[in-house]
Amino acid sequence: MHSLAQEIKAFSRNNLRKQCTRVTTLTGKKIIETWKDARIHVEEVEPSGGGGCGYVQDLSSDLQVGVVKPWLLLGSQDAARDLDTLRKHKVTHILNVAYGVENAFLSEFTYKNISILDLPETNILSYFPECFEFIEQARIKDGVVLVHCNAGVSRAATIVIGFLMNSEEISFTSAFSLVKNARPSICPNSGFMEQLRTYQESKESNKYDKIPEVERDNTS
């Protein structure tokens, strides 16, 4: 049986199944994100269109919410647009990192929008500070924050994993495991996985730099 560490190390974009995500905005506009040739293509389609994805689509609502911490949740755009689900989990804050998904209940929750494309070359680390600040502010106010993107699989999962690595000072492997246990469907794209590894290396390097020189000499 492969360990989680081996599974993460062996992660390859080539092993991912092809997928597309259908987004319906509050105005009725329909957008489809499709993986093709290792890139994500965004297109707008007519409401009456037959799909155009080339793949079998799962149009059922995904209301499963991953409870990473009692105050930190991870889910899809469907959960973010279902008021009963949000109230059930006592959500007070919503971090929306999707592309083309509008906020549904502006008078009910505190929102923050950051449009992030689910592309391996997207520098998702550059969004970490403002995302982490919003999540931390929700926690300080005894709130419950839901982090979501379109499918709640890649972008939002990466943000939550990075947040745990930073706030809990744990490794990428440990953070990935915690988030995957809460929401088994997570699958950050290969670029985000590499960036999370880089993020861990930078944190380890910074931690070492903060060790007093005498202490470093004693450990060498």
Residues marked active site are found at: 149
In whole angstroms, what separates CA 114 from the centre of its chain?
Answer: 12
Helices 190-209 and 155-167 meet at what angle, rounded to 10? 10
User: Please, which residues have CB within 8 angstroms of residue 122's CB and are 6 or more apart in sequence?
Assistant: 116, 191, 192
CA distances from 59 to 24, 56, 78, 86, 129 (A): 11, 9, 10, 20, 33
CA distances from 155 to 42, 95, 192 (A): 15, 11, 8
* Token pair for 154: 């890649």
Would you say 27 and 104 are in contact if contact means Cβ atoms under 8 Å apart? no
Would you say 45 and 39 are in contact if contact means Cβ atoms under 8 Å apart? no
Would you say 42 and 32 are in contact if contact means Cβ atoms under 8 Å apart? yes
As a whole number of angstroms, the distance between CA 109 and CA 16 comes to: 34
